[in-house]
Chain A
C-alpha cells in the first residue's frame, strides 16, 4: 500500500442556498481541522444571504493566510444545490473536483425559467472530468428531510480522500454526532460517505 498523497493545503468553495446549513457544514469541518492540528479559515457572508439567497462559503485548510479562495484556485467545489454549484464553477482550478448534491431548488422569484438538471450536469462535466453528483436529496429524505443534505455532502467529502492528512475523520464524525439531532446527522453523513467510498468519487 503506497502512502496516501497529502495536500499541503485544501481550497474549497461551498455553495448552496441560504438555509441549507452551509455555515454549519463549513464550521464543523474547520473546527474538526483545528482539532486535528490543521489551520483552517472559513469566510462566510451573513445578513442578507441568509434569506434564501445564493450563499458561498470559502474554506481553506492547511498552509494558508488569507480567507478567500481565488477564482480558478479551488481544489473542490462542494455544492449543495445544482444551480448554485454551476454558479460557482469558475472558482475551480483546472482539473479540480466538483462534488455536488442533485438537489434543484426553484428561486422564489416570479416567472423563473428553470434550467434542466441534465443541462447543468453536462455543463459541470465540461468544466472538469471529476464531477460527482451525489443523490443527496433521496438520502436526506430517507434520514428525515432535506435539512440533512449538508451532512450527506460532508460524508461524501470525507470519502474523497481530499481531507487526508488535514482532518481526522474520527474527529469529524464525533463532531457530526455532536450536532443537534446528532444521530440522524451521523446517519446522513454515513450515507454520503458510503456513496463516495472505495474511490467512487476520486478527486485525485
Chain B
C-alpha cells in the first residue's frame, strides 16, 4: 500500500509535501487543486495518486487563480478544499485571495504557498507571510514534515472554526525535506456538497464589501487572540535572553542552542508568524533584557514584535535582521554566528572546512542544468537562430519560465528577458509597438501559454503588435515534472481529457498566420519559422509558430520502463572532422568528445531523436539501428 495511506500510528519517511497531503487526507478533504510549481508540486501530485482510491477530486488547474477560485467554491459548498502553489503563484491568485478574506469560507480552506528562500528554482524569494498581513489571513509556517502534516490537519479545523481561509507557507527545506512522520487517523472525505445562497456575504459589491470589511477587522482580532493557543507556538526554557524563531528557523536555532549548551535562554517557537500571537509574545517578553528574532526573508515577526513591545511599553530592544540578514535560506552556520554575535561571543562557528578544500580546488567546469538529451527545445532553438540569421533579422527574445528558459545558457543565449509566467508575450506586445529594426520573438511553453500567455496573445491580435509567438509545445508541464496540462489529453488522475490545440486557439482568436512544425525535422522547422517571420515583416501583425514534439525525458522514461528499444546513432570516425558543431553549437549531453576532438555518442544517454545526424555538416552521424515500432507510437 502507498506510504501515504499508511496505518494510524505508524512512522514513515515522508517528503514534507507528502506529509502535507497526508494531513489534508486526515482532515477529510474532498477537493484539491493546484498549478504546479517547485517546491509545491508534490502536494497535489501525491493527492492525485490516491484520488481514485479515496474518492476525492483532484485537478491541475490552468493557473493558480483558477485553482484558488475553484477550491474556494468547494469550501462554500461544504467540501474541505486545498489549493497549492509556489510562492509566486500567489501573485497570480492574489486578486481572489484578497477578496476571499472578505467573504470568508464555510468548510475548511487551506491555501498552500511553498516558499523558496535562496531561490533554488524561482525568480525571486518574496516572503508571502506579508500576504497574510495584507489580506488578514492567518499564516502557518511549519518546521518539519511532521509538523507540516499536523498543521495541515489543524489548519482545516481552524479555518472552519473562524470561517476564514488559512495560508500555509512551508519553505523548500520543509517541502523538499524527507523526515519521519507519525501518521494519524484517516477520515472519510466529503466529496459532494450544496451551495446555500447568502447574497450579502458572497457578492462583494461595495455596499456588501463595506459590511464584510468590518467583520474582517473584528475577526482578525479574534484570530489574533486565538493563535496564542495554537499548539505550534510555545515557549521553551527560561532566562533573561529571548530568542524568537519562526518556521524552519526554529530547527536551526534549537540545534544551535543545544550545541552551545545554553540553558539560560528563553525560546519562543512560532508556527503562526501571522498574526503574531499577542498573549504568548507578551509572556515571552516579560522580564527579558534582550531579544533576537531569527527568521528567513523579511522581518515579518520582527516588525510585529517591535510594534507590540512599543505598544505595551517594553523598553527592551528587539533585534533581528541586523544580526541575521535578509538574503537566502537559514543554515546552521548563519543561525550560529547570528546568535553568537548577539550574545557577545563573536561571529565564529564550530565548523571549519579544511584549508585545502577552500584554497586548492582545481578549476572545475560549471555544470548548470541543461536541456536533456533529445530535448525538442534544443532543436527549436538551433533552427530558430538559423532562420533568424537567414533573414538578417535583429531579434529580441522575450523569454519565459519553463525548461526553454535554459536557452539563456551558451551556446544558445536566446532569451533576452525572463520575468514571470506569460511575460514573454506580454513584453513582446510593448516591444512590437516601439521597436524599429528589431523584431520581438516571444518564446513560451504550452503550459505557460494556457496559464497566462493567452490574454497577452489576445492583446497582440487586438492591438496589432507585430511579433512571433513561438510556442514550444512539448505537450506537458515539463519543468516541474511532466504534469499534464490543458493541451496534453490527460487530467491529473491520468484519465483521458480534451486536448486543447494551441494552433486552434490562436486561429480562434484571430491570428492569421499560424504554422505548426516538428522540431525533430529541422528542414521543415526552418521553413515554417521563415514563413512566419516573413509574414510578420510584411504584414506587421502577430504570427504564431507551434513547435510540437513531446518532452523527450518523458518519452525516454516510458520507453525504458516498457523495454522499448530506441533508434541508435553513431559517429563515423572517418567522416568526423572534429568541427565541434554537435558538442559545442548543439550541445546535446549525449554527445561527448574524444581526446582528438572527434565526437562520440553516449549510448546510455542518447534518446534516438536523430537531430544531431541532421545538423552534422559532414554527415558523420548515422543511424545504426532502427528503434522498435512501438517507439514511434509513444510520441503524442
The reply to whether the CB of A106 lies closer than 8 angstroms to some CB of chain B is yes
Whether the pair A42, B354 counts as a contact (CB closer than 8 A) is no
The reply to whether the CB of A47 lies closer than 8 angstroms to some CB of chain B is yes
A40, B146: Cα distance in complex, Å: 12
B383 contacts across to A, CB distance below 8 A? none
B12 contacts across to A, CB distance below 8 A? 31, 34
With both beta carbons as reference points, the residue of chain B lying nearest to A107 in the complex is identified as B367
Whether the pair B179, A123 counts as a contact (CB closer than 8 A) is no
The reply to whether the CB of A127 lies closer than 8 angstroms to some CB of chain B is yes
The reply to whether the CB of B344 lies closer than 8 angstroms to some CB of chain A is no
The reply to whether the CB of B434 lies closer than 8 angstroms to some CB of chain A is no
Specify the main secondary structure of chain B where it touches its partner: loop
Interface segment among B26-34, B99-107, B125-133, B585-593: the answer is: B585-593
Interface segment among B217-225, B275-283, B356-364, B615-623: the answer is: B356-364
Residues facing A in B190-242 (CB within 8 A) are none
A147 contacts across to B, CB distance below 8 A? 604
Interface segment among A113-121, A165-173, A182-190: the answer is: A113-121
Whether the pair B354, A48 counts as a contact (CB closer than 8 A) is no
Contact A70 B333, CB 8 Å, known A17-B367, A43-B173, A127-B356: yes
Whether the pair A45, B172 counts as a contact (CB closer than 8 A) is yes
B331 contacts across to A, CB distance below 8 A? 68, 70
Residues facing A in B1-51 (CB within 8 A) are 11-13, 38-39, 41
A40, B11: Cα distance in complex, Å: 12
Whether the pair A51, B604 counts as a contact (CB closer than 8 A) is no
Whether the pair B177, A44 counts as a contact (CB closer than 8 A) is yes
A43, B118: Cα distance in complex, Å: 14
Interface centre among B251, B254, B360, B367, by most chain A C-beta atoms within 10 angstroms, is: B367
A197 contacts across to B, CB distance below 8 A? none
Selected from A39, A91, A127, the residue in CB contact (under 8 A) with B180 is A39
B251 contacts across to A, CB distance below 8 A? 65-67
Whether the pair B13, A107 counts as a contact (CB closer than 8 A) is no
Interface segment among B63-71, B155-163, B404-412, B499-507: the answer is: B404-412
Selected from B121, B358, B583, the residue in CB contact (under 8 A) with A45 is B121
B333 contacts across to A, CB distance below 8 A? 70-71
With both beta carbons as reference points, the residue of chain B lying nearest to A37 in the complex is identified as B11
Within the complex, the shortest CB–CB distance from B18 to chain A, in Å, comes to 11
Contact A110 B13, CB 8 Å, known A34-B180, A44-B177, A46-B176: no
A109, B333: Cα distance in complex, Å: 33
Within the complex, the shortest CB–CB distance from A129 to chain B, in Å, comes to 11
Whether the pair A45, B176 counts as a contact (CB closer than 8 A) is yes
Interface centre among A50, A71, A109, by most chain B C-beta atoms within 10 angstroms, is: A109
Interface centre among A39, A40, A48, by most chain B C-beta atoms within 10 angstroms, is: A48
The reply to whether the CB of A94 lies closer than 8 angstroms to some CB of chain B is yes
A68, B363: Cα distance in complex, Å: 26
Within the complex, the shortest CB–CB distance from A113 to chain B, in Å, comes to 6
A73 contacts across to B, CB distance below 8 A? 332, 351
A73, B258: Cα distance in complex, Å: 16
The reply to whether the CB of A54 lies closer than 8 angstroms to some CB of chain B is yes
The reply to whether the CB of A102 lies closer than 8 angstroms to some CB of chain B is no
The reply to whether the CB of B568 lies closer than 8 angstroms to some CB of chain A is no
Within the complex, the shortest CB–CB distance from A118 to chain B, in Å, comes to 10
Whether the pair A68, B173 counts as a contact (CB closer than 8 A) is yes
B258 contacts across to A, CB distance below 8 A? 65
Selected from B178, B351, B410, the residue in CB contact (under 8 A) with A44 is B178
Chain A interface, number of residues (Cβ within 8 angstroms): 62
With both beta carbons as reference points, the residue of chain B lying nearest to A35 in the complex is identified as B13
A90, B331: Cα distance in complex, Å: 15
Interface segment among B368-376, B483-491, B518-526: the answer is: B368-376
A112, B411: Cα distance in complex, Å: 12
How many residue pairs link A and B with beta carbons under 8 A? The number is 188
Residues facing B in A2-36 (CB within 8 A) are 17-18, 26-27, 30-31, 34
The reply to whether the CB of B496 lies closer than 8 angstroms to some CB of chain A is no
Whether the pair A71, B480 counts as a contact (CB closer than 8 A) is no
Whether the pair A53, B370 counts as a contact (CB closer than 8 A) is yes
**Contact mask for chain A residues 75-97; partner B; CB cutoff 8 A; 1 contact, 0 none:** 00000000110110111111000
Within the complex, the shortest CB–CB distance from B607 to chain A, in Å, comes to 12
With both beta carbons as reference points, the residue of chain B lying nearest to A86 in the complex is identified as B364
With both beta carbons as reference points, the residue of chain B lying nearest to A41 in the complex is identified as B179
Whether the pair A115, B406 counts as a contact (CB closer than 8 A) is no
Whether the pair B121, A51 counts as a contact (CB closer than 8 A) is no
Whether the pair B351, A108 counts as a contact (CB closer than 8 A) is no
Whether the pair A108, B588 counts as a contact (CB closer than 8 A) is yes
Whether the pair A27, B411 counts as a contact (CB closer than 8 A) is no
B309 contacts across to A, CB distance below 8 A? none
A46, B352: Cα distance in complex, Å: 28
Within the complex, the shortest CB–CB distance from A139 to chain B, in Å, comes to 15
A18, B403: Cα distance in complex, Å: 15
A179, B403: Cα distance in complex, Å: 29
Whether the pair B361, A109 counts as a contact (CB closer than 8 A) is no
Whether the pair B13, A27 counts as a contact (CB closer than 8 A) is yes
Contact A89 B366, CB 8 Å, known A27-B178, A70-B332, A110-B583: no
**Contact mask for chain A residues 114-146; partner B; CB cutoff 8 A; 1 contact, 0 none:** 110001100100111000000000000000011
B403 contacts across to A, CB distance below 8 A? 51
The reply to whether the CB of B252 lies closer than 8 angstroms to some CB of chain A is yes
**Contact mask for chain B residues 505-541; partner A; CB cutoff 8 A; 1 contact, 0 none:** 0000000000000000000000000000000000000
The reply to whether the CB of B636 lies closer than 8 angstroms to some CB of chain A is no
Within the complex, the shortest CB–CB distance from B104 to chain A, in Å, comes to 34
The reply to whether the CB of B54 lies closer than 8 angstroms to some CB of chain A is no
Whether the pair B409, A109 counts as a contact (CB closer than 8 A) is yes
A26, B409: Cα distance in complex, Å: 30
A64 contacts across to B, CB distance below 8 A? 255
Whether the pair A40, B13 counts as a contact (CB closer than 8 A) is yes
Contact A47 B38, CB 8 Å, known A64-B255, A68-B173, A68-B331: yes
Whether the pair A43, B176 counts as a contact (CB closer than 8 A) is yes
With both beta carbons as reference points, the residue of chain B lying nearest to A67 in the complex is identified as B177
Please give the residue numbers on chain A whose beta carbons come within 8 Å of chain B beta carbons, in ascending order. 17-18, 26-27, 30-31, 34, 39-54, 64-73, 83-84, 86-87, 89-94, 106-115, 119-120, 123, 126-128, 145-147
Some 20 contacts from A to B, beta carbons below 8 A apart, are A18-B369, A30-B178, A34-B12, A34-B13, A39-B179, A40-B178, A41-B179, A43-B176, A48-B120, A49-B120, A51-B370, A52-B372, A84-B367, A109-B370, A112-B365, A113-B363, A119-B362, A123-B356, A126-B356, A128-B354
Please give the residue numbers on chain B whose beta carbons come within 8 Å of chain A beta carbons, in ascending order. 11-13, 38-39, 41, 120-121, 172-173, 176-180, 248, 251-252, 254-255, 258, 329, 331-333, 336, 349, 351-354, 356-358, 360-372, 403, 406, 409-411, 479-481, 583-585, 587-589, 592-593, 604
- When A and B form their complex, which 9 residue pairs have the shortest distance between CB atoms, in order from nearest? A47-B121, A53-B369, A108-B589, A47-B38, A72-B351, A51-B369, A72-B353, A126-B356, A90-B353
* 17 extra interface residue pairs, beta carbon distance < 8 Å, beyond A45-B176, A51-B406: A41-B179, A42-B177, A43-B176, A44-B177, A45-B172, A51-B370, A52-B367, A65-B258, A72-B352, A72-B353, A83-B364, A83-B365, A89-B353, A91-B353, A109-B366, A110-B411, A110-B583
